[in-house]
Structure 1
């Protein structure tokens, strides 16, 4: 119940009963049903009667009160008697004649919520010899409520004590309705202002066109909840429906991507760039008769067609519709027009974002491998996550390269920068590095040539990279690192650890940079994880913490979803723990390779390697590979002899010829016979080795003597161009 504010004044003085000896210590208290309380009620004493102080009512006041429907009252505080004239009695619903009633009887006429308010204000006025007023509701005999307003003032007797209250009362129904309407309109304006702010915030956060459509179709318009919403983009004379709510698919389907005809209200809104409001079905049919047949089946009765204008060009249309006929007032039309402007700006920004994102995604798809080749003996999984800002394109890449001899090369790299230029350099570098690897060059040579290639491009960009050649026959990895992250290895028992690889300068820093190779082995089922720094480093996370989190993600049990390969589940788990796309500052490339090992769990029984001319470092690598192979093949007792004789044959081939040599080792397991190892070294020289007896001071010439002395058999065979030298060892005889 609306009430007037209580008057401010000095603290209330207590009103009590008369003091002993007939003297009173304060005004006389009024006796009520609840006890002696210093308050009674509010209302009338005929205003035309002379007051107690001898004044009389002016003759002009009575006609003025009658003309305005104002009644008068007087309350005798000592006798607790309220007297009201006929108009006052009618206003409070107490009959059509003058009223004479006690305060408690009067309070009983009021609404239970309003009686305490009136009591409190009258008490205060009596205590302070002041005035008071309030709105209150009276309960009529038929149970209906009636709004009343009163205004009264307390008068004192000759001794300064409260004697009576006189005042006016009038019907406040219309006044309260007006105040209620004003309050409702104020709340509605506040709701609309809040709605515009929330809509602007939501639309500003919408990134894609789909986001804009979702936000628009979920907006709760204040004061005019629509029954249907449609958002459409306009391009090349057609409307494309982006989102709709409150419509069946068959209602909006005919309009999607259909030519916009001139007789439609949507065409007029786009052409004029002004909203079109239709308040009823009859108005729609009258203004657009040709379009009415199709629109009538939707069941709507009022529409607002809002053109979306950005940079002076119509880019779309909003349709707001209602089931009932509705004439929108000026405030509602302004609200809808403002909403259309917000949606237009958001849609224009989102379309630009989608176009840039599609361009970047297409360029990235072209730069990265479309498919990863399948290589027998290993299983791979790759992932690429764009950055969360800008063009969402960068210089990170991965590649899997099949190599001669059935081996496989793994590449992970990151070109400096996050723009189209970096992506272009990445594409050139990826192709060059792939070509070098496919030619059969060893890992160190592949990396050195790639660095020289990038330096020769003169782009002022550098790149970090890790290249690893995996011997699929027995799971040995030869890794080279150029300023990149170390790989992480997941062991067969589910544990994980960082595999340290000797590092060199990033690619493109120096054209003469040389790189060292780090060799490590895998057991069947173990996985190598290569990634770029976007996965493990950000402003909020240092590199050490990121690598620790990566190791934790790689380790643990794997639960494939839908019967897929566990390595795919591992890749998903790693990427799911990366930063959210909206917060990611860098793009991410991820490459996983699991060495499955040969069938039956036994290593392949053959090893083939090409040895570059005068590449003595390659000879040392070959000896290490041979040791691992013989150990995996289960003939470790042949390692020392085989390694010594292999060094002699390979060194002889690359020393006395001007071409590369091909090394082949095979282990033959024949029924009921001991395993037999055959090692062959092929070259393209027609010069045959000669067995001779060197003197005591000679520094060479003992190679064939060692072969003849230690091998179970040896020989030289012609190959058409060049020759093949071989020797054989038997495992049982060696033992």
Structure 2
């Protein structure tokens, strides 16, 4: 407790003899023995004071002291005896037998923090023959804390020595309470100021409406802890309860999504743009009789504060603060709640806008991306899309799975430049165009080239990166084309992960005449191709090499086997890859992820048919076809036919392309004759290759000269094939040849 400043006496030099006497008096103050006897003696006469009638005290002094509650005391310094009147005893809270009239007993009554101050001031007054005063606290016998003020002066004897101290005491408990209350109010104001800062910070960090409701219902209001909190938005005249604490859910049901009655206090708060405070249930019933019956059914609360939520001059909701007991809020408490309502209103308005933008972005993204991934026999796919951690949460990343002619499948992963609605619109157009090109049966290089020209023709000043891969489902061969995008990652059968280098070209839309090169690689049954956009492997704090290393680590981890988990292992792998970035709220780019696992043909045997369309102007496709035929024959277990079949098939396809103006259809089938019944031995194998075109011009066999550069195709077919011929097809023709292979056991597994 604060005390008065020590009085400063006049600057003078104390004679040595007087100093010795003062020191003796001070020592007596500290060490004087207690005297037996009880209490302070009331009615001590006043000494050394002037009188009007010869009495020791004037007639007017006692009534004046009594009227002001002032008591007097007299301390004999030499004998260390302290005496006082009855008012002093009452002010000090003394009882008979409790006080032995010594200075030590008096100091023992004081608060431990105040006793040293009082002792020091009295010692100085005795030493200087001056006056002193102090404010101190004392504890009454009942335990209550009181405060006392005293003022005294030291009197000297005839020899100039300190003899007595006389003075007055008066009760200062009211002042003590005022100081305590002022301290409490100052602490409460500081706590409320700190609360407003913390609430403003928490509400500013709330992103969604759900976040705002959670923050509001968890706020610890200082000085007036509420028993119930409710946050509700106003939409089309109806209340939507967003969050509540201190109320059972069944109490909120009658108010949720119901019209707000004009006689309800919440309606008045919204209508007047001012808080409504209700201190008692009687006041509620008197002010809002029509709304009272609905409230009376609950019967939980006794005081309420309805705070309107107003943002940009428009009411958007109301929040309720309620108490179980009657509560009349003072001006500071009302100001605090009004300020809180303003903060909640601004935060809720911002969160509603964010949720609306997020819903718009999510809806647009759902429309742009495939609703479902088609199921293709022989492969299993899994896709993931993660929106950016901030911003509009919509961009140009996309994936697609396209069923192709012949039962094969095309994989598309891409990213349009930018992260806005414009980029998303371009992405939608480009995805549809690329899907159409692929579904028409164009080879990967042609699909990518046409998509690039399409984007350039849109004249959007945007480019896009893309990887397109055509997967031969029959025997697991992948033909990949890359336009400025990332290389694919393959999870091998042994669980390892490798980045497959794919020859790259310029991004789509940069150079309309760009020609893209195809990279071919094979999959074994159970191996998985992983395609992703750069948001997964690149960030401000992560370079591309580090990102690919993390991706390969996630891809190569151990997966549950078939039957060990209710989920397909490819779904587990997709979740594990996506989880690397799913928890990052600072992610600046979207992530598209596409996984395809080649399961192999049913029964573990490769399908024994290969069917491909060859574009009339696509001579490079012939080379790709030869490679596919070689892989197919090896997987079918007739590797000895590879060289001959490749040569003759090339001759037939080249002949159809050169001498017609339409596309050609290539088909290779392997037929097996029944064996002799032995398990390990299959029957005789017969390969039939057909090339169909729409030309009615039949091939003519001729004998070329030694210097001729053409004309030997049919001669080779006739010489090497076991049989060949030409068949009409109504419009066009079909050329074919057959090769036979001796049985060598079961076909190789795919």
TM-score normalised over the length of structure 1: 0.89
Deviation, structure 1 residue 367: 1.0
Change (3 A) 1:60 1:34: closer
- Who is 1:235 aligned against? 235
Following the alignment from structure 2 to structure 1, what is the Cα–Cα distance between the partners of residues 223 and 611? 81
SS in 1 for 2:469: strand
Q: Map 1:326-725 onto structure 2 (within 5 A).
A: 326-559=327-560, 563-578=566-581, 580=583, 582-672=585-675, 673-725=683-735
Q: Is the 8 A contact 1:86 1:98 kept in 2?
A: no
- Who is 2:680 aligned against? none
Deviation, structure 1 residue 369: 0.9
Please identify, of 576-585 and 142-151, the stretch whose mean Cα deviation from structure 2 is larger. Answer: 142-151
SS in 1 for 2:200: helix
Following the alignment from structure 2 to structure 1, what is the Cα–Cα distance between the partners of residues 517 and 45? 114
Deviation, structure 1 residue 429: 0.8
What is the CA RMSD across the aligned residues, in angstroms? 3.4
SS in 2 for 1:101: coil
Deviation, structure 1 residue 734: 10
Q: Deviations over 1:317-371 (max 9, x none)?
A: 1222222222222222222222221111112212122122211111111111111
Q: Is the 8 A contact 1:138 1:148 kept in 2?
A: no
Following the alignment from structure 1 to structure 2, what is the Cα–Cα distance between the partners of residues 486 and 478? 13
Change (3 A) 1:297 1:656: same
Change (3 A) 1:427 1:143: closer
Following the alignment from structure 2 to structure 1, what is the Cα–Cα distance between the partners of residues 248 and 344? 23
Deviation, structure 1 residue 164: 6.1
- Who is 1:181 aligned against? 181
Change (3 A) 1:491 1:75: farther
Deviation, structure 1 residue 543: 1.9
Q: Is the 8 A contact 2:111 2:136 kept in 1?
A: no
SS in 1 for 2:253: helix
Following the alignment from structure 1 to structure 2, what is the Cα–Cα distance between the partners of residues 668 and 5? 115
- Who is 1:202 aligned against? 202
Q: Deviations over 1:188-236 (max 9, x none)?
A: 2222222222221121112222222222222222222222222221122
2:740 to 714, 730, 735: 730
TM-score normalised over the length of structure 2: 0.87
Q: Deviations over 1:491-540 (max 9, x none)?
A: 12221121111111111112211111111111111111111112222222
Following the alignment from structure 1 to structure 2, what is the Cα–Cα distance between the partners of residues 715 and 668? 18
Deviation, structure 1 residue 80: 3.7
Change (3 A) 1:459 1:57: farther
Following the alignment from structure 2 to structure 1, what is the Cα–Cα distance between the partners of residues 76 and 360? 90
- Who is 1:49 aligned against? 47
Q: Is the 8 A contact 1:714 1:725 kept in 2?
A: yes
Following the alignment from structure 1 to structure 2, what is the Cα–Cα distance between the partners of residues 598 and 544? 36
SS in 2 for 1:244: strand
Q: Is the 8 A contact 2:26 2:123 kept in 1?
A: no
Following the alignment from structure 1 to structure 2, what is the Cα–Cα distance between the partners of residues 97 and 50? 30
- Who is 2:274 aligned against? 274
Following the alignment from structure 1 to structure 2, what is the Cα–Cα distance between the partners of residues 149 and 453? 96
- Who is 2:317 aligned against? 316
Change (3 A) 1:128 1:189: farther
SS in 2 for 1:91: helix
Q: Deviations over 1:276-309 (max 9, x none)?
A: 2222221221222121111112222222222212
Change (3 A) 1:541 1:164: farther
Q: Is the 8 A contact 1:231 1:242 kept in 2?
A: yes
SS in 1 for 2:698: coil
Deviation, structure 1 residue 640: 2.0
Aligned residue-pair number: 714
Contiguous gaps of at least 5 residues in structure 2: 10-16, 34-39, 50-55, 676-682, 746-750
- Who is 1:40 aligned against? none
Following the alignment from structure 2 to structure 1, what is the Cα–Cα distance between the partners of residues 125 and 567? 85
Deviation, structure 1 residue 698: 2.2
Deviation, structure 1 residue 671: 2.5
- Who is 1:30 aligned against? 27
Q: Is the 8 A contact 2:25 2:126 kept in 1?
A: no
SS in 2 for 1:538: coil
Q: Is the 8 A contact 1:203 1:343 kept in 2?
A: yes
Following the alignment from structure 1 to structure 2, what is the Cα–Cα distance between the partners of residues 610 and 603? 20
Q: Is the 8 A contact 1:70 1:88 kept in 2?
A: yes
Q: Deviations over 1:246-289 (max 9, x none)?
A: 22233221222222222222222222222222222212212221
- Who is 2:53 aligned against? none
Deviation, structure 1 residue 581: 5.0
Change (3 A) 1:342 1:47: farther
Following the alignment from structure 1 to structure 2, what is the Cα–Cα distance between the partners of residues 367 and 358? 14
SS in 1 for 2:344: helix
Change (3 A) 1:494 1:152: farther
Q: Is the 8 A contact 1:89 1:98 kept in 2?
A: no
Q: Map 1:217-232 onto structure 2 (within 5 A).
A: 217-232=217-232
Please identify, of 522-531 and 629-638, the stretch whose mean Cα deviation from structure 2 is larger. Answer: 629-638
SS in 2 for 1:255: coil
- Who is 2:89 aligned against? 89
Please identify, of 96-105 and 634-643, the stretch whose mean Cα deviation from structure 2 is larger. Answer: 96-105
Deviation, structure 1 residue 35: 11
Q: Is the 8 A contact 1:86 1:96 kept in 2?
A: no
SS in 2 for 1:370: coil
Q: Is the 8 A contact 1:661 1:682 kept in 2?
A: yes
Following the alignment from structure 1 to structure 2, what is the Cα–Cα distance between the partners of residues 481 and 157? 114
Change (3 A) 1:127 1:545: farther
Following the alignment from structure 1 to structure 2, what is the Cα–Cα distance between the partners of residues 685 and 280? 97
Following the alignment from structure 1 to structure 2, what is the Cα–Cα distance between the partners of residues 701 and 98? 138
Following the alignment from structure 1 to structure 2, what is the Cα–Cα distance between the partners of residues 157 and 601? 125
Q: Is the 8 A contact 1:44 1:72 kept in 2?
A: no
Q: Is the 8 A contact 1:44 1:73 kept in 2?
A: no
Deviation, structure 1 residue 455: 0.7
Q: Is the 8 A contact 1:86 1:97 kept in 2?
A: no
Following the alignment from structure 2 to structure 1, what is the Cα–Cα distance between the partners of residues 421 and 705? 68
Following the alignment from structure 1 to structure 2, what is the Cα–Cα distance between the partners of residues 557 and 121? 83
Deviation, structure 1 residue 437: 0.6
SS in 2 for 1:609: strand
Please identify, of 342-351 and 631-640, the stretch whose mean Cα deviation from structure 2 is larger. Answer: 631-640
Please identify, of 257-266 and 464-473, the stretch whose mean Cα deviation from structure 2 is larger. Answer: 257-266
Contiguous gaps of at least 5 residues in structure 1: 11-17, 37-42
